[in-house]
Structure 1
Amino acid sequence: MLKILLPILVLLTGAVGAFAIVAHRPTLGVQAPRAEPPLVSVVRAEPQTVRLNVRSQGIVTPRTEIDWVAEVAGKVMRLHPDFIAGGFFAAGETLVSLDPRDYDQAVAAAEARLAEARRRLAQEEAEAEQARSEWQALGEGRPTPLTLHEPQLAEARAKLKAAEAELIKARLNRSRCELHAPFAGRVLANHIGLGHYVQPGETLARIYATDVVEVRLPVSTEQQANLDLDFTRRNADRRPGPTVWLAAAVGGVEQRWEGLIVRSEARVDDATGLLHVVAEVPEPYGPKYAQPLLPGMFVKAEIEGREQSGVFVLPLGAVNTSQEALVVDAERRLHIRRLTVLRSEADRVLVGGGLAAGEVVITGGVQVAVEGMAVRFEAGDSSPEAGEKVGRIMPDTGGNQ
């Protein structure tokens, strides 16, 4: 009996104990999960005075580039050693010499004809004087011009002027056998060699001056409003245009050059609706630059613009594509604010309206913005500093924020 009753007793005891545990279990309260306000990074918006520079780009070209042609015919006798593609030359330097013997002979013949004309004029003057004296001694009435040798004298004087002009022309042609550089520059392309026989008007080379280079820079109508341009007057009365900084990568290193906007073109481009302004860079081969500004280079440009006050400079993350920013009030509540964006740059956004001085703007940390939602600042900072002023990419020129 004990073997039968003992297992039954154990089972009953376990059942009663389990029932007691279930019957007397503690009641758990239901608690809703608590949402944590998002942690955001902010800046304090403060108005600044900002120079609204204009960025553009263009191709460098020489201000002066010509086809150098021969004015007389002849065989090429001598060439300057640097009269090759890429060679440099100074103003007035003799680059090409043609065979001058035909022109030396022409000069000698012209001098002989001039001497003959002078002799003939002297003879006619003597004969005219003699005829006048004879008429005064023997003649009666009024003498005719032919009697006084007046036509012969006029012809002799005309022939003397013609001989003088012929000598001048002969000497001019002789001087053109020595071709001198019209300016200091560089040879772009050479078309002749020693022994080549050139004809008048034949192109000898393509050359350009190295004193100044130009860059045509397209600007939009909106960008023109930011530039201090005055091209309604003549060049003599016009004040200097704004400064322009050019930049290009040479050998992996960014090089910079400085110039001025000197003029604008006469019309707006029909295809693009852009106006081209022209920048000049003097002495592009000068020692002040580590690398010369060569024609044909593609350069980025930044033109000095007008200063504008009351501009808020914000990081790129502070403004979305709809030109809206997230502003935090004193109670740390988020508000979506529509801004007046002046322009967006590579590292900053310039805002002209929609913000008040001292307002706190969120720069990051909000995935989905809801009007009026609570936020908290990084590191518990309740008074963030003013937003960092974003610097320019191009070289510092003073006055740019």
Structure 2
Amino acid sequence: MKWVKITLPIIILSASAAACWALIAHKPAVAPQAGGKPPPQVTVATARLETLRMDVASQGVVRPRTEIDLVSEVSGKVVAIHPAFVAGGFFKKGDRLIAIDPRDYDFAITKAQAQVAEARKDLLREEAEAEQAQNEWQALGGGDANDFVLHKPHLAERRAKLAAAEADLAAARLKRSRCDLSAPFAGRVREKQADIGQYVESGKIVANIYATDIAEVRLPVPSEQIEFLDLPLFYANAAQPAAGPSVTLRAQFAGKIHTWQGRIVRTEGMLDDKTGMLYAVAEIRDPYAYHPSHPPLAAGLFVQAEIAGSERSDLINIPRAALHGGYQVYVVDRDNRLRMRHVGIVRTEADRLVIGKGLNADERVLVSGIELPIDGMQVVIKTVAPGGRS
């Protein structure tokens, strides 16, 4: 049976090889498919040169340009106050806001007047005595007299005492005038800290007041957007700085959005060392004037600001959806193939990109239709985004 063990495997292997050859030789022919996968359909927008005004958005809080602490310069009891001397009260320039009891200061004026009268009397008497001494010396014919004999030092003393008495009278009258605290400008009371009947010390703050002629808003501007604004940087050699760009302020008040107009008048001295921003100051004149379309621009109101920027005619505006992978967009060439471009983005807004370089006018830019575009991919333009053309 030894020959069976040797020949049986050889027979099985030969049969398997013959069967494989038969299968290969007689396999059915595969019919080719009719056509491949069609190119994807895409939406494009046409890149166009536009003249754009590069407005800069900012925000800030309204504050008065002039705000001071009203301080008593004399001590005494408050005997009268202005009807508008309350928080929020309006007053005019020159209005007497608060009056301090003046009687002590009136007494001081009377006393100073008496001292002036006495000093003037002493001076007149000394002048008469000096004249008499001069005449007597000349009658004696004794030569040149010294100053003491002619009463010259005495006259100088009397004149100095009169001048001192008149200065005391002027000081007494000045203190009396300070019993009435008058408004140095037309404005409004923010906070009062004294009332009628209260005794106030010299140097005490009796109120905080601010002017209502001009309001200001500090507006932070990122350093990379300063180039879009014609800001008054106030160079040291500028004789008269030019007016800055206009500003539109918006705020919600009483359930409505209101707008006010202002203008940038200056920039602050340096960049903020924490944020790297430059603060521009917008000025709004007569913020409390009546206007039928909006309420007063009250101090403390938070506002959104739009600063008018410079116009540029070398920029391209495309939909924001055209941006892929950071700073890349794809254009469709004449053969309907995608070509990748690296672009310089000047500004990114809610629904658009403002491109400074990397695109040419009238190029077709891919907007949608492909999630992962590939450079050189064949496409079919299905639609053109609004504002574009194929």
TM range (shorter): 0.7 to 0.9
**Gaps in structure 1 of 5+ consecutive residues:** 1-27, 389-401
Structure-2 change in CA distance of 1:34 and 1:267 (3 Å):
same
One-letter amino acid matched to 1:45: A
Q: Secondary structure at the match of 2:228?
A: coil
Counterpart of 1:231 in structure 2 is 234
- Please report how far the alpha carbon of residue 37 of structure 1 lies from its aligned counterpart in structure 2 after TM superposition: 4.2
Distance across 2 between alignment mates of 1:181 and 1:133: 59
Distance across 1 between alignment mates of 2:201 and 2:157: 36
Q: Which runs of 4+ in 1 moved over 6 A?
A: none
Counterpart of 2:152 in structure 1 is 150
Q: Does 1:187 align with 2:177?
A: no
How do residues 137-176 of structure 1 correspond to structure 2 at under 5 angstroms?
137-176=139-178
Between 91-100 and 288-297, the greater mean CA deviation after superposition: 288-297
Counterpart of 2:345 in structure 1 is 341
- Please report how far the alpha carbon of residue 387 of structure 1 lies from its aligned counterpart in structure 2 after TM superposition: 4.0
- Please report how far the alpha carbon of residue 321 of structure 1 lies from its aligned counterpart in structure 2 after TM superposition: 5.0
How do residues 275-290 of structure 1 correspond to structure 2 at under 5 angstroms?
275-288=278-291, 290=294
Structure-2 change in CA distance of 1:77 and 1:236 (3 Å):
farther
Q: 1:217 aligns with which of 199, 213, 219?
A: 219
One-letter amino acid matched to 1:366: I
Structure-2 change in CA distance of 1:236 and 1:195 (3 Å):
farther
- Please report how far the alpha carbon of residue 359 of structure 1 lies from its aligned counterpart in structure 2 after TM superposition: 1.2
User: TM-score, normalized by length of structure 1?
Assistant: 0.82
Counterpart of 1:261 in structure 2 is 264
Note if contact 1:46-1:386 (Cα within 8 Å) is conserved in structure 2. no
One-letter amino acid matched to 2:358: G
Q: Does 1:120 align with 2:126?
A: no
**Gaps in structure 2 of 5+ consecutive residues:** 1-29
Deviations 1:230-253 (A, max 9, x none): 321367521122222222222332
Note if contact 1:51-1:304 (Cα within 8 Å) is conserved in structure 2. yes
Q: Does 1:329 align with 2:333?
A: yes
Q: 1:301 aligns with which of 291, 294, 305?
A: 305
One-letter amino acid matched to 2:321: G
Distance across 2 between alignment mates of 1:112 and 1:234: 56
- Please report how far the alpha carbon of residue 341 of structure 1 lies from its aligned counterpart in structure 2 after TM superposition: 0.8
Deviations 1:297-328 (A, max 9, x none): 22222222222221011122222351222322
One-letter amino acid matched to 1:254: I
One-letter amino acid matched to 1:81: P
- Please report how far the alpha carbon of residue 29 of structure 1 lies from its aligned counterpart in structure 2 after TM superposition: 7.1
Q: Does 1:249 align with 2:252?
A: yes
- Please report how far the alpha carbon of residue 148 of structure 1 lies from its aligned counterpart in structure 2 after TM superposition: 1.4
User: TM-score, normalized by length of structure 2?
Assistant: 0.84
- Please report how far the alpha carbon of residue 385 of structure 1 lies from its aligned counterpart in structure 2 after TM superposition: 7.0
One-letter amino acid matched to 2:143: G
Note if contact 1:314-1:387 (Cα within 8 Å) is conserved in structure 2. no
Q: Secondary structure at the match of 1:114?
A: helix
Distance across 2 between alignment mates of 1:211 and 1:87: 15
Deviations 1:256-275 (A, max 9, x none): 22222222222222222222
Aligned CA-pair RMSD: 2.5
- Please report how far the alpha carbon of residue 32 of structure 1 lies from its aligned counterpart in structure 2 after TM superposition: 5.8
Q: Secondary structure at the match of 2:294?
A: coil
